[in-house]
Structure 1
Amino acid sequence: MQRRVIIYRDLLLPYSETFIPAQVESLTAYTGLYVGTSRTANATSLIPADRSLTLSDFVQSAGVWKMAFKLGGVVHPQWLQSLQALSPNLIHAHFGLDGIWGMRLARRLQLPLVVTFRGNDITGMDLKPGQRAPSVLDFWHRRGQFFRDYYVQRRPELFQTARYCIGVSDFIRHKVVEKGCPPEKAVVIYNGVNLDKFSFDPTLTREPVVLFVGRLVEKKGCEYLIRAMAAVQAARPDVELVLIGDGPQRAELESLARSVLKQYRFLGPQPHPTVKEWMNRANVLCAPSITAATGDSEGLPNVVTEALAMQLPVIGSIHAGIPEAVVHGETGFLTAERDWEAIAEHLLVIFNNPEMRNQMAIAGRQRIEQQFDQKHSIAKLEALYSEILAEPSVVTKHPL
């Protein structure tokens, strides 16, 4: 029988996090069991219902039990018994904050813990100098901020407890160590790309389209892409900007686009088949990410590696893990953060030099095959699991 891994994500599962089941369902030597305190309305379309188990499955009003679990380490007895009955071998929590809750279960189940850090959980969450630790009053009046501050306060304990802390890029691994994780515990495992799934359809014709895919939030840098496109369309009015995704900045960005662009579309959130269709149609993808005012940064946007796999050159910023995938002048171009003039310049180079664009497309696919093949990432992850389970004593008993 295959060994079993609890995949802990407190909310199973936001639609924007399909990269988690993409990894879990590709495991070959292990079976993933999705565990959290609650699930979204569309969870069954994202993860197998017969391999998911939440606290909310056992109580009608889960709020009190959730707080007892998160603040006091009290695990609902039926939830605990059901988890024990699954005979899991280890816990893999996704995102640092979820690592805190995964740590609680790891202690009760006496299992080793692995945590994957992906971006904001290690770049944008810190107590400010002189800021006091979160209090009960913060919990009642600023619940969202309370849990972020609580996580930062407990992060050193998480670094001590976790057997390994995985960064989705070298950049994130460096940040994890910078924040206090012992270097020997910090490793890099890229999400990887399913090369069979993300493959360019040569029967389709590329169109004069610049594609953006991602949440419409500050760190994605869409404002600078729109300003760049205004300069591009002044020289090449046939080039259209297509944006896929949603977020709190959408109204502001649509207003900016209306004022400066001739051709653009905001398509909102779209399923993977639609995203792939646009990756087949577009000429270039832009990932103009920036460091937000809060310090929030990317890890390595999956859309960057997926686009390169689809033979779509990428113009990205010198930000977080993007330069680990995009090789300047070879698979696309890199610019400084917020440099919309450089983005415009590189876009025009690509549209005015189709032969060079095609060379970049081929080089991008080759880079993903060599460095970001999902099969290699899964093999590395499963080797990590097996290494942990082969250790004489993989769990240290902790008091609750």
Structure 2
Amino acid sequence: MTLRNILIYRDSLLAPSETFIRSQAEGMRFYRAYYAGSKRNAGIPLDPERVTVLNEGGAGGRLRELLFKATGFGFPLESKFRKMDFRLLHAHFGPDGVLAAPIARRLRIPLIVTFHGYDATVKDEHARKSYYTHRQYIRKRAHLQRSAAVFIAVSDFIRGKLIEQGYPADKIVRHYIGVDTELFKPDPELARPRENIVLFVGRLVEVKGAAYLIRAMNEVQRQMPDAELVVIGDGPLRAELEAMAAGMLRKYRFLGTQPPDVVRRWMNRAKVFSVPSVPTPTGAEEAFGISFIEAASMRLPVASFRTGGITEAVSHGETGLLAAPHDWLELAGGISRLLSDEALWRRMSARSRERACESFDLKEQNQKLERIYHSVLAGNTSQATGYQLMPSRIDA
């Protein structure tokens, strides 16, 4: 079977937090992914034979990057891209969609753009104070809305945000990225029984709500002194949060950024997963939270807030307990229940794994994405955005 070539665009290839892009692209059955961007990021390894970047260092590389971002010209379209016979271009994040649009237009291939979160939630007045690419995105958003074939929203919450911004509803499809449920699979030999650990995995930024979790854990430890908070991740608020924990908590650890296998081991040990994300004044909000599905796949129930796309990732009362936004006392109550009520924990633990496999398995979600691709290539975008699935066999 001949695989169809597609081009994945991400301005920086690829940040450590963006493993989901590689997992999705490399999990295709009928398409071979190549990657393009302005520059490489050492975070995630990619096959160098399938990567094209403009800025490989030095003044010349920086100049090529700036020229491309300002004019849309600069990629080796004639010399390389045309020979690859790319069938479509898939850009990740809205600003990257604007950057990729001239490439798709000159290659005469359809453009698909996935919106992952901040690109759909952050208010324009705050985005304008950010990077040049964000300001450019705001200026050219209306053109992107007209020119792209399909927009993929990672949750119904993000789909609603895109419609509020003027994106045509009939060009938007909600598609969950999915998790490798065989990789994120509990190992009973590593943790028997589970420990009274509450695990946080994420960037230490305001939107992730770690300060609320520390307050909640202070309340939990009043009743359960052996309960421990383990924080995996880094960010600009780390020093402030560590100081806060030192003044409020008996048992806690800040482990910084950790490789995926270490994260999985902690998910295998912990009894509760908690990333209590909150809306911020900039508009930033949790789009979905793939880490919630990773935890669920590891049979790890969640305690969090009812905000953004979390209500799609976590089924309240079934796979976790969701508190009112900012209510750290209610959050503490949910954590305490999961730590102390063994019957409740076992029920939610089992259902978490079942739901992850039923609704968010990476292989199944990739098959759905390939059907979206196939519908777009067949010129049937209404079928792609109507959640209707094409036949499983895709001819080259």
| Fold shared by both chains (TM-score > 0.5) | yes
Aligned length: 379
Q: Is the 8 A contact 1:125 1:152 kept in 2?
A: no
How far did 1:176 drift?
1.0
How far did 1:59 drift?
7.9
Task: Show structure 1 runs of 4+ deviating over 6 A.
Answer: none
- Pair 1:20-2:21 in alignment: yes
What is the alpha-carbon distance in structure 1 between the residues aligned to residue 199 and residue 313 of structure 2? 17
Instruction: Give secondary structure in 2 for the equivalent of 1:62.
Output: helix
Aligned to 1:66: 65
How far did 1:79 drift?
5.7
Q: Is the 8 A contact 2:15 2:42 kept in 1?
A: no
What is the alpha-carbon distance in structure 1 between the residues aligned to residue 380 and residue 160 of structure 2? 29
Deviations 1:40-68 (A, max 9, x none): 2344xx22222111113598621222122
Query: For 2:246, which of 218, 236, 258 is the aligned residue?
Result: 258
How far did 1:80 drift?
4.8
TM-score normalised per structure 2: 0.92
The one-letter code matched in structure 1 to 2:149 is R
Q: Is the 8 A contact 1:127 1:152 kept in 2?
A: no
How far did 1:124 drift?
0.5
What is the alpha-carbon distance in structure 2 between the residues aligned to residue 258 and residue 61 of structure 1? 48
What is the alpha-carbon distance in structure 1 between the residues aligned to residue 43 and residue 133 of structure 2? 25
Q: Specify whether residues 80 and 42 from structure 1 end up closer, same or farther in structure 2 by C-alpha distance, changes over 3 A only.
A: farther
What is the alpha-carbon distance in structure 2 between the residues aligned to residue 58 and residue 215 of structure 1? 28
What is the alpha-carbon distance in structure 2 between the residues aligned to residue 392 and residue 359 of structure 1? 43
Aligned to 1:294: 282
Aligned to 1:397: none
How far did 1:392 drift?
8.6
How far did 1:87 drift?
1.6
Q: Specify whether residues 320 and 282 from structure 1 end up closer, same or farther in structure 2 by C-alpha distance, changes over 3 A only.
A: same
How far did 1:345 drift?
0.7
What is the alpha-carbon distance in structure 1 between the residues aligned to residue 150 and residue 77 of structure 2? 26
Instruction: Give secondary structure in 2 for the equivalent of 1:196.
Output: coil
Deviations 1:65-119 (A, max 9, x none): 212211112224x465222222211100001111111112111211110000011
Instruction: Give secondary structure in 2 for the equivalent of 1:247.
Output: coil
Aligned to 1:87: 85
Aligned to 1:119: 117
* Mapping for residues 1-400 of structure 1, pairs under 5 Å: 1-43=2-44, 46-57=45-56, 61-76=60-75, 78=76, 80-127=78-125, 144-203=130-189, 204-205=191-192, 206-391=194-379
What is the alpha-carbon distance in structure 2 between the residues aligned to residue 58 and residue 108 of structure 1? 26
TM-score normalised per structure 1: 0.91
What is the alpha-carbon distance in structure 2 between the residues aligned to residue 81 and residue 343 of structure 1? 57
Instruction: Give secondary structure in 1 for the equivalent of 2:200.
Output: strand
Q: Is the 8 A contact 2:77 2:107 kept in 1?
A: no
Deviations 1:280-321 (A, max 9, x none): 000010020001110011211111011011100011211111
What is the alpha-carbon distance in structure 1 between the residues aligned to residue 282 and residue 53 of structure 2? 32
Higher alpha-carbon deviation: 295-304 or 51-60:
51-60
What is the alpha-carbon distance in structure 2 between the residues aligned to residue 127 and residue 248 of structure 1? 22
